[in-house]
Structure 1
């Protein structure tokens, strides 16, 4: 009996350390229909760095600290496996795959972008030297590019000279449904939370400035670590709110923390598609976020699951509000659009269609 044809896909990630791209791509690779697809996951880095459990698919660790030194090994694995499709995520890895794609004419290469690239050009982390940034058009050899939001797609089309036909907008999925928080009124001491790397783009400094102007008691939990850790907490001390802050560098129980708080605060200057904000809505905690480039505006429904504000004064006014929120309505507002079944189907449809073309 002839076995059913399955599309062979190699998913490639720099690591399985904590991060949005790592979580989403590892989730997609494990959850696509195994009767239609034969997935393999290649990790450039090391197994010891894993924070995500991988089941039911082959995982290959290259044990390299840099994409550049891993390129020959990535080439060898593609050559050995002869996949129909290669899917990568994060800009410098997508660029590396664009470099390799001319050597594999029978393989389709798909990149997934994680941010609005043109808005990140001034960030310190982005400015460090990389040979991949010398390429005049870093995505030209990719067969398709997945963007997490409409803003991201428009940015790629307008600033990177990529045809619209190669761009596909697929939002991030809700990968799990934790227990929804119970409805309850605000307490006398408000409890706020932010989840995100301690880097410039995440806007922790402006949230601290805003909180320092709030004339009522509060507790503020920050989950995340990063290069600006010392500066962030020095700023909190200078503003006189250091004792109001709880810092959790890393936890596997983010949802539990979010559920215990009244509001999720996002200070970012740009977002690809804010996973932590989405997770906040999933557990029923409303959000306040700035209206910035990226996918934030595709998640927030004004007054239903939170507020989208234009400036710091507006942010402060929303912090003062004492309305009672309905956690079930907050979850439903995002579940209808971003449930995992819907998003997985969108990925599968893209993989099937790109093979037809």
Structure 2
């Protein structure tokens, strides 16, 4: 039995990656028992799980509350592998000490911790966050990093260089994404941004950049797909900057791909990333990307003037300059080549082989 363990199935990047690996493995090895284990059985992505994959819930809202029921689950079911990400990785690392040593714990690091730690203003919480990640590294049989930057950052921040580690880019279900991208949209945008309305995505700077851009080019439009706790604050900022005719907060869309496909550019204004699914999905659709050169994998993916541009982090002026440059009529990026090059690297079939190698070395 292989257990895929997550806090829930909200529509986030890490959840989608784990779900893609689960479904790909299910297709490749139909006789292997796979189980989806959730802290809480909630989230829109539940609808994508086939009935042939059992779903268990620990009834736990966070990592700490997951530990005891996870230990109980492991003792009862004796899985060969527990594969975790996000907060579940910490719960799995603690549980490892209380269950059979035959159970292999593989943990996927969900974000760039050197940047994410800065969100903790309380120095004690910041230290606890780093200690938790250090604990994960010391109590895992295998660690998966999403990109080279994340691996180097993790080792630097925790002082732990896991003996068994892999760097595996995130997968894109190319055929599925392309099919979904063919749906009709109510409105097409010059720029599209996709992601939760939270501090990490730094939409405040993106709106400030749009205000600057409007003084030079008033015809552009930006659609922001996503929901989150900063919605009211961003709506207020949008009105104060008089961007109502240019920028549109669209809320959550289960299928953002038609908007991404039909936009001229995807924009990512993040303060940091792990390895952005939205960026590589956009590239696989042939839509070039404007992204911050933030801590994370963006610089490993975006090549200036070929598939988009990088800009400075938390710098509205620089972001607006790059957005303005992208609208220059003399700028032509080959969308077909962008899609072909991205698909050759990030296609789910290619990425799954890497995960398959990791999982199968522990399956007897």
Establish whether TM, by shorter chain, passes 0.5: yes
**How far apart, in 1, do the equivalents of 2:223 and 2:3 lie?**
38
Q: TM-score, normalised by structure 2?
A: 0.86
For 1:233-272, list aligned pairs within 5 A.
233-272=235-274
Shift of 1:354: 4.3
**How far apart, in 2, do the equivalents of 1:96 and 1:290 lie?**
32
Paired residues of 1:44 and 1:63 also in contact (CA < 8 A):
yes
Query: Partner of 1:242: helix, strand, or coil?
Result: coil
**How far apart, in 2, do the equivalents of 1:130 and 1:39 lie?**
35
**How far apart, in 2, do the equivalents of 1:209 and 1:72 lie?**
46
Paired residues of 2:193 and 2:225 also in contact (CA < 8 A):
yes
Give the one of 350, 355, 361 matched to 1:347.
Answer: 355
Tell me, yes or no, if structure 1 residue 138 matches structure 2 residue 146.
no
Query: Partner of 1:179: helix, strand, or coil?
Result: helix
Shift of 1:288: 0.5
**How far apart, in 1, do the equivalents of 2:358 and 2:121 lie?**
32
Shift of 1:117: 0.6
Query: Partner of 2:245: helix, strand, or coil?
Result: helix
**How far apart, in 2, do the equivalents of 1:100 and 1:80 lie?**
13
**How far apart, in 2, do the equivalents of 1:126 and 1:296 lie?**
28
Query: Partner of 1:165: helix, strand, or coil?
Result: coil
Q: Tell me the equivalent position of 1:279.
A: 281
Q: CA deviation digits over 1:169-211, x for unaligned, max 9? A: 11100123333889xxxxxx96111001111111111111111
Q: CA RMSD in A?
A: 2.7
Tell me, yes or no, if structure 1 residue 319 matches structure 2 residue 318.
no
Give the one of 332, 338, 343 matched to 1:330.
Answer: 338
Shift of 1:272: 0.3
Residues 286/127 of structure 1: CA separation in 2 closer, same or farther (3 Å cut) = farther
Paired residues of 1:304 and 1:329 also in contact (CA < 8 A):
no
Q: Tell me the equivalent position of 1:112.
A: 108
**How far apart, in 2, do the equivalents of 1:155 and 1:129 lie?**
19
Query: Partner of 1:303: helix, strand, or coil?
Result: coil
Query: Partner of 2:118: helix, strand, or coil?
Result: coil
Residues 47/314 of structure 1: CA separation in 2 closer, same or farther (3 Å cut) = closer
Paired residues of 1:18 and 1:51 also in contact (CA < 8 A):
no
Query: Partner of 2:190: helix, strand, or coil?
Result: strand
Shift of 1:132: 7.2
Q: Tell me the equivalent position of 2:185.
A: none
Query: Partner of 1:317: helix, strand, or coil?
Result: helix
Shift of 1:298: 2.0
Paired residues of 1:172 and 1:343 also in contact (CA < 8 A):
yes
Paired residues of 1:300 and 1:308 also in contact (CA < 8 A):
yes
Q: Tell me the equivalent position of 1:42.
A: 37
Tell me, yes or no, if structure 1 residue 97 matches structure 2 residue 89.
no
Query: Partner of 1:308: helix, strand, or coil?
Result: strand
Paired residues of 1:233 and 1:242 also in contact (CA < 8 A):
no
Query: Partner of 2:196: helix, strand, or coil?
Result: coil
**How far apart, in 1, do the equivalents of 2:207 and 2:124 lie?**
27
Q: TM-score, normalised by structure 1?
A: 0.87
Tell me, yes or no, if structure 1 residue 173 matches structure 2 residue 177.
no
Query: Partner of 2:169: helix, strand, or coil?
Result: coil
Residues 137/273 of structure 1: CA separation in 2 closer, same or farther (3 Å cut) = closer
Shift of 1:355: 5.3
Query: Partner of 2:91: helix, strand, or coil?
Result: helix
Shift of 1:241: 1.2
